[in-house]
Structure 1
Amino acid sequence: MYVADKVDIVVIGGGHAGCEAALAAARMGKKTIMFTMSLDSIAMMPCNPNVGGTSKGHLVREIDALGGEMGKNIDRTYIQSRMLNTAKGPAVHSLRAQADKTKYSHAMKKVLENVEKLIIKQQEVVEVQVEDGKVKGVVTNTGAIYECKAIVLAGGTYVRSRCLTGECIEYTGPNGLKTSNKLSEALKELGIELRRFKTGTPARVDARTVDFSKMEPQHGDERIVPFSFENKEKDIKRDQYPCYLTYTNEKTHQIIRDNLHRSPMYSGVIEGTGPRYCPSIEDKVVRFADKERHQVFIEPEGEDTTEMYVQGMSSSLPEEVQIAMLRTLKGLENVEVMRIGYAIEYDCINPMQLKHSLELKAIEGFFSAGQMNGSSGYEEAAAQGLVAGINAALKVDGRDPMIIDRSEGYIGVLIDDLVTKGTKEPYRMMTSRAEYRLLLRQDNADLRLTQKGYEAGLISAGRYERFAAKKSAIDAELERLKHVYVGTSEKVQAILEKKGSTPLRSGIALAEILKRPELEYEDFTEVDTDRPDLSLDVIEQVMIELRYEGYITRQMRQVEQFKKLEKRLIPADINYDDVYSLRLEAKQKLEQVRPISIGQASRISGVSPADISMLLVYLEQRNRSHKDESTEKEEV
C-alpha cells in the first residue's frame, strides 16, 4: 500500500447523496475526492426517473434553498413537470418532474467536473482507517491510501448487493453494475452495526410495442414552477412528454397469485426488509386482495430512447411471469420488455448510531448519508448528502455543525426520524411525518433555509441579496395591506359580485377581505392604485400568510413549545441507571440513542411521557446538587 494523496474530505459513492456531499464540501473550499464504482453511473436513476412528488418535492426545494444542486439539475433535464395535490391546501402541494435520466446523470457529472477542489475517481474503497477514534483515511482496491480529515459514506445500494429475478440471483449493483463487497466487513470491524434492506424496480418496456390509444394520457402543467428558486419559468419552459395511465386486472392478479411461490420475496430467498410504502406488485396483490385493480403509469425515460418505466409494477418474479402479467394490461397486450424488473438487497447501517449532524457517534469525522442510513429515494439521499457534506466541511474547519430541526424543514424531520427513532424498513419521507407542515411548505423553503445555506458558505452574496429583497418585499406588502382600505364603492361591489363574494356594508382593510378564499390579489388591482410591482412568488407568500394567518399563528405557538424542549439539554455524561423510577425499556432506549435534549428524548419509541417527567425531575435535582457544590467551593 502507498499514500496516493492527502485531502480534506473523502466521499464514498457517486449517487445522489455522494454528489451533493462532494459538491457542498468542495464549494466550501475543501479539497475533496469522490470515489465511485463507475464514472458512467454518477447520479444514476436506477429506479423511476423522476424527482419530487408528495413530500419529496419539499426536500428538493429545501436542498436548493441550502445551496444544493438537485433542484437546478432537474430544471435542466425535466421532460414533464406537474404540481401535485393542488386541490388541497398549500402545505401538501408538491412539485414532481419526470427526468430524462441519461441527461440528468450527464448534467450532474458535468457540474461535478467543473467544481474547483473536487477530484472524481473510479475506484472501490475497501477500508476506512481510524486512529484514536478519528478517521485517518481510506484504502482502495488497488492498495492506494488517501489520507483525509473527514469521510462521507454514501454507498447507496451498492454495498454487498445482489439482484434477484425469480430463481436468478446476480451479485451486482443496480443495472448490473459492480457491487462493493469488501466495505461491509471493514465497517463491521470498526464496530458499526449493519442491517440488510431490500428495494426493487419494475420492467422497462419498448414504447414501439405499446398501444397508447388504450390508455389515459397524463400531461404536464401549462405553468411550469421551477424547483430552483434561482430559476424563472421563462428560463426553463420547454416542450413536455406525456405519461400514460392503465390498470392491472383480475387476469394480472391471478398470474401473480399462481406464481407467488417463485417470487424470492415469498420463497424466503430474500433476507432484507422491503419498503412498506413502495411495495412490489406481488406484495400489493397479497396485501390488498380486495382491490380489483391497481394504477400503473407508463412513463418515458428520456427524449432519445424508447424505454418506458412501468410505475406501479415493481417485481422480482421470474422473467416469463413478468412478461405474461404485463401483457394482461390494456395497451400492453403485445409489449416487449427491454429490461426485466428485479429486487435488490444491500447492506446499510443502523442510523441510530448517528448524531443529527450525520456524524457517527463513535468515530469522529465519519459521516454517513443516503440509503446507507436506511432511507429510500433519490431526494432523501440528496438531502442527507448535502447535510453530511456541509457538516464534514464545517468539522474540518472546527466549526459547529449545521443542524436543521423538525420545525425548520422536512430535512430536519427526515434526519431526526432516522437518528432518534431508527427504521426497520427503508424510510420514505411523507407529509404526515411533519407535525409543522403548514409552516414547512415547499413554496417558502427559501425563507426558512437560505440563511443557513448562506452561513454555511453555499449561498453567494448575490443570491442572498435577492433573497433578502424578496423577504423584505413580502413583509412590506403584508404591512401595507393592513392599512389600505376599500369601501362600498360600485367598483368594489362589482368585483365582489363578479367573484360571487358577499357585498360589503362598510369599509375593510385589504388584508382582511383577501382572506376570502374566492378572492385573489389581482382582483383589486384597479382599486388599489398604490400597489407595488411584485413578483408572483412574493404575491403567493402574501396570500398564503393572509389566508392561513390563524393556523400559522397557532402552529408557531406549538413550535415555541417544541423549541423550549429542544433547549433543555441533557448532560453528555448522564447515567440513566441513576434516574429514579425510569422503566427498564426507557433506560435501554435512552442509553442506545443518547439524546442531546429533552425534546429528542420525548420522540424515542419506548420512552413514555411518564419517563420524561422522571427524567426532568432527575435533571432538576442534579442541577441543584451541582449548584450547591459550586457554592461550597466558592465559600472555601
Structure 2
Amino acid sequence: MKPPLKFGPEQRYDVIVCGAGHAGVEAALAASRRGADVLLLTGNVDTIGQMSCNPAIGGQAKGHMVREIDALGGEMGVNTDTTAIQFRLLNASKGPAVRGPRAQCDKKAYQFRLKHVIELQPNLTLFQAMVEGLIFESDGVAGVKTSFGIDFYGKTVVVTTGTFLRGLMHIGDKKNEGGRLGDFSARGLSGSFLEAGIELQRLKTGTPPRILGSSIDFSQCERQDGDADPTFFGFYDTRLGEEMFHVEQLPDDSPALNRLFHVEQFGQRKLGWRPGQDQVSCWTTETTEQTADTVRTNLHRSALYAGEIEGVGPRYCPSIEDKFVKFADKATHKVYLEPEGRNTDEWYVNGVSTSLPFDVQLDMMRSIQGLANVVMLRPAYAVEYDFAPPTQLFPSLESKKVANLFFAGQINGTSGYEEAAGQGLVAGVNAVAKVRGEDPLVIGRDEAYIGVLIDDLVTKGTREPYRMFTSRAEHRLLFNHGSAEIRLLEKVKAFGLVDAERLARMEDKATAVKFWTEELERVRIRGGLAGDMVRKHDDLSDVELPPNFLAQSEPVQQEVLNRVKYKGYLEREEKHIARLRNLEKVKVPAGLDFLQVRGLRKESAIKLNEVQPRTLAQAGRISGVNPADISLLLVAFQSASSK
C-alpha cells in the first residue's frame, strides 16, 4: 500500500523532488531506494520522463554515463534497453575507451514505463502539482508551496525543473510561455531563488520539427540499421547472474527474464519489451543549396538572429541558421531521420533545430533531399529558460546559499537526458545522506564521467548548455563503458545503492577481473606469456588462452583483455592520478577568505572565493587560477599548519 499524502510541518518527507524529468526521476528513485520517504511533484504526471527532444539515449561519453548510472543502481539503462527500437555502438572500430553505446527509443514507451516504475516504487509518493515557491526556516529550505495552495514540508528539497523556469518559446517573432511545446512555464519559483540570494541567468536550447514518416521519400535517403549484436546499457551479468548476460538467449518464459523486464509487483507488470527485438531503421539525408538559400534569405525572421533571444545556446548542437552562417564554406549539412516509436508515424528530423517562422520552416524542410512532399506535425522552436550558475553548489550538488536545497539537471546549465540523470541520481543519494548526517557521495574525475561532469559544473561553471564529451575527461582511458561497475564498486557499497544479491555479484566480478588480469601476465601459453600474446595479436582467434579464463563470463573476459592489451597506457594513467591525489589530500580551510592570502592575485582570489574549493586540486581546476597561484597556496597552507 502506498502511504497517503502528508501535509504540514509536523509531517515532513525526507526528500521532496520538484520536477519529474530525467533528473527528477533518478533523484526520486535513488532516494527512495535508499529507504527515504520521498515526495515527487510534477506539473503533469502524464509527461514523466518525457523525451522532449530526440528520443535517443547514449552516444560518445553519454553512453558511458548511462552505464555508470546503471552501475550506481539507476533506472535509465534498463528503461532504455526495454523501450529501445534501435541499438548502435558508436566508434566500434576504435579503442574501448571511446566506444559509445547509443539507442533510439520509443518515446512513449520510455515515458510510460518510467511512470509505472515510479508508481510501483516503495517509499515514493507521486503527486501532480506546480511548485510555485520554497518554504524557508532559519538559513535552510523546509518545503515547497504549490499552485493548489497545498504546502509540503521536507527535510531536503531537490530542484530539477529542466527548461520550465520562466520558459519562453520562440517560433519566428511569435512567443509563447512554456518550457516545452504544449506545456506550462514555471514563474514563481525563480522569485524564491532570487529571494534566497541565488543568482539566475538565461540559456537557450531548441528542437527540430517533427514530420510524418509516410511523407518521406526514402529512395532518396540512406538507410542506417541497428547492430545485429546490440550493446545494452544494463549490466545484466550482475543483475541476473553471469550465465544470463545474453538476455536474447533466454527463453520467453524464463523466470530470470520476467524478473528483470516484466516484474510482477502489486499484481501489475512493468511495461517494455525484450531488449534488441524487432529493431527499426533510421535514415540519413542532406540539405541542398536551396535549403541554404532559404535560411540565409530569411535570417532576419529568425528569433535567434533578430535579437529576440537573450539566452546563450548550445555550441555543440547549433541551429540550422548557425550552420549556414558559421560554416558558410560547407554547401550541405547531414540530416538524420529517426522514428519516434513503433506505434506512431512521427519522425524526428535530427540536425534541423531552428527558430525560423513556420512558413520558412516548411519551405526549408521541403528543400531537403527526400522531403519534397513532407508533412509537418510539429514546428521547430527555440526555448529560453532560467538556470542557476552551478558554481553556487557544493560537489554534493547542495546549494552553498541555502542549506538542504539541491539542484540537478538543466537548472545547472547542462543539456542532455544523460547529464541530467547522472546529476539527479547523485543529488538524490546526497539528499538522503544530508538527512542522515552522512558524508556525501562525491565521485572523482578519475572515477567516472559523472565525476567529471559535476566537478566541471561546480568548479568551472558554464556560460552555455554543457554537454559531455570524451575530451572533457583527462582520464578517459580508464573509462571504457564496460568497467563502470568495477570503477564505482566502492561507492555503491558505501551508500547501499544496489541490493545485496547484485552487490555480491559485482564484487565477484571485480575479483575475477583482478585475478585474471594478473594471471594472464604469469601463465604461459603457446608462443609465450598470455599477456604478451594478447598485446601482440589484434585478432585473438589464434591465441590459445587458458580454458579457465575462457569459461568466465563475456563481460569479465572483455574487461580483462582490455586491461591486459592496454596495460602500459593504463599504468601510466594510474601513476599520473597518484600524483594528482597528493593535491587532493591538501584540504582548503572551510570559509577561507582568499583575499587575505598574501601575494595571491586579486583575480584568482575573487574566483577562489566564489567557488570555495574543497581541495588544492579543485582550486587548480578553476578557470583563471594558474600553477603559480597553487604553489603560493600550498606554501601558505604548509606554513599555517606548522605554526
Residue of structure 2 equivalent to 1:534: 552
SS at match of 1:177: coil
**Alignment length (residue pairs):** 603
Q: Name the CA distance, whole Å, in 1 between partners of 2:638 and 2:515.
A: 44
- Aligned: 1:356 with 2:399: no
| Structure 2 counterparts to residues 410-449 of structure 1, below 5 A | 410-449=449-488
Pairwise CA distance, 1:54: 1.1
SS at match of 2:478: coil
Residue of structure 1 equivalent to 2:355: 316
Q: Name the CA distance, whole Å, in 2 between partners of 1:543 and 1:478.
A: 8
Residue of structure 1 equivalent to 2:260: none
Q: Name the CA distance, whole Å, in 2 between partners of 1:529 and 1:247.
A: 50
- Aligned: 1:373 with 2:395: no
TM-score normalised by the chain length of structure 2? 0.92
Residue of structure 1 equivalent to 2:283: 244
- Aligned: 1:234 with 2:247: yes
Pairwise CA distance, 1:352: 0.4
Pairwise CA distance, 1:172: 1.6
Q: Name the CA distance, whole Å, in 1 between partners of 2:373 and 2:406.
A: 49
The aligned amino acid for 1:446 is E
- Aligned: 1:138 with 2:144: yes
Task: For residues 372-404 of structure 1, give each alpha carbon's deviation from its aligned partner in whole angstroms, at most 9, with x where no partner exists.
Answer: 100000000000000000000111111110100
Task: For residues 428-465 of structure 1, give each alpha carbon's deviation from its aligned partner in whole angstroms, at most 9, with x where no partner exists.
Answer: 00100000000122110111113312321221111011
Residue of structure 1 equivalent to 2:22: 16
SS at match of 2:536: coil
Residue of structure 1 equivalent to 2:640: 622
Q: From 404, 416, 421, give the equivalent of 2:443.
A: 404
Q: From 424, 430, 439, give the equivalent of 1:391.
A: 430
Q: From 88, 93, 98, give the equivalent of 1:92.
A: 98
Residue of structure 2 equivalent to 1:495: none
For structure 2, the 5+ residue unaligned runs are 1-6, 238-244, 249-274
Is the 1:16–1:378 contact (alpha carbons within 8 Å) kept by the matching residues of 2? Answer: yes
SS at match of 2:477: coil
Q: From 202, 215, 237, give the equivalent of 1:196.
A: 202
Residue of structure 2 equivalent to 1:509: 529
CA change 1:529–1:276 in 2 (3 A) is closer
Is the 1:22–1:32 contact (alpha carbons within 8 Å) kept by the matching residues of 2? Answer: yes
- Aligned: 1:147 with 2:153: yes
For structure 1, the 5+ residue unaligned runs are 488-506, 626-636
Is the 2:84–2:276 contact (alpha carbons within 8 Å) kept by the matching residues of 1? Answer: no
Pairwise CA distance, 1:529: 5.0
Q: Name the CA distance, whole Å, in 2 between partners of 1:566 and 1:32.
A: 34
Residue of structure 1 equivalent to 2:586: 568
SS at match of 2:539: coil
Is the 2:13–2:154 contact (alpha carbons within 8 Å) kept by the matching residues of 1? Answer: yes
Task: For residues 6-65 of structure 1, give each alpha carbon's deviation from its aligned partner in whole angstroms, at most 9, with x where no partner exists.
Answer: 211100000000000000111111111111110111000010000001110011000001
The aligned amino acid for 1:437 is R
Task: For residues 115-147 of structure 1, give each alpha carbon's deviation from its aligned partner in whole angstroms, at most 9, with x where no partner exists.
Answer: 111111110111111222122111111221111
Pairwise CA distance, 1:169: 0.8
Q: From 457, 461, 475, give the equivalent of 2:500.
A: 461
The aligned amino acid for 1:234 is V
TM-score normalised by the chain length of structure 1? 0.93
- Aligned: 1:54 with 2:72: no
| Bigger Cα displacement from structure 2, 510-519 vs 546-555 | 510-519
The aligned amino acid for 2:354 is S
Q: Name the CA distance, whole Å, in 2 between partners of 1:594 and 1:372.
A: 20
Q: Name the CA distance, whole Å, in 1 between partners of 2:150 and 2:626.
A: 50
Q: Name the CA distance, whole Å, in 2 between partners of 1:516 and 1:318.
A: 59
Q: Name the CA distance, whole Å, in 2 between partners of 1:158 and 1:573.
A: 33
Pairwise CA distance, 1:517: 4.0
- Aligned: 1:290 with 2:329: yes
| Bigger Cα displacement from structure 2, 216-225 vs 169-178 | 169-178
Residue of structure 2 equivalent to 1:27: 33
- Aligned: 1:41 with 2:47: yes
Pairwise CA distance, 1:557: 0.6
Is the 1:166–1:263 contact (alpha carbons within 8 Å) kept by the matching residues of 2? Answer: yes
CA change 1:528–1:442 in 2 (3 A) is closer
Greater Cα radius of gyration, structure 1 or 2: 1
The aligned amino acid for 1:368 is F
The alignment's C-alpha RMSD in Å is 1.3
Q: Name the CA distance, whole Å, in 2 between partners of 1:98 and 1:287.
A: 29
CA change 1:559–1:239 in 2 (3 A) is same
SS at match of 1:175: coil
Q: Name the CA distance, whole Å, in 2 between partners of 1:164 and 1:397.
A: 44
Q: Name the CA distance, whole Å, in 1 between partners of 2:116 and 2:414.
A: 27
The aligned amino acid for 1:289 is A
Q: From 3, 6, 12, give the equivalent of 2:8.
A: 3
Q: Name the CA distance, whole Å, in 2 between partners of 1:557 and 1:529.
A: 33
SS at match of 1:146: strand
Pairwise CA distance, 1:475: 2.1
Pairwise CA distance, 1:538: 1.0
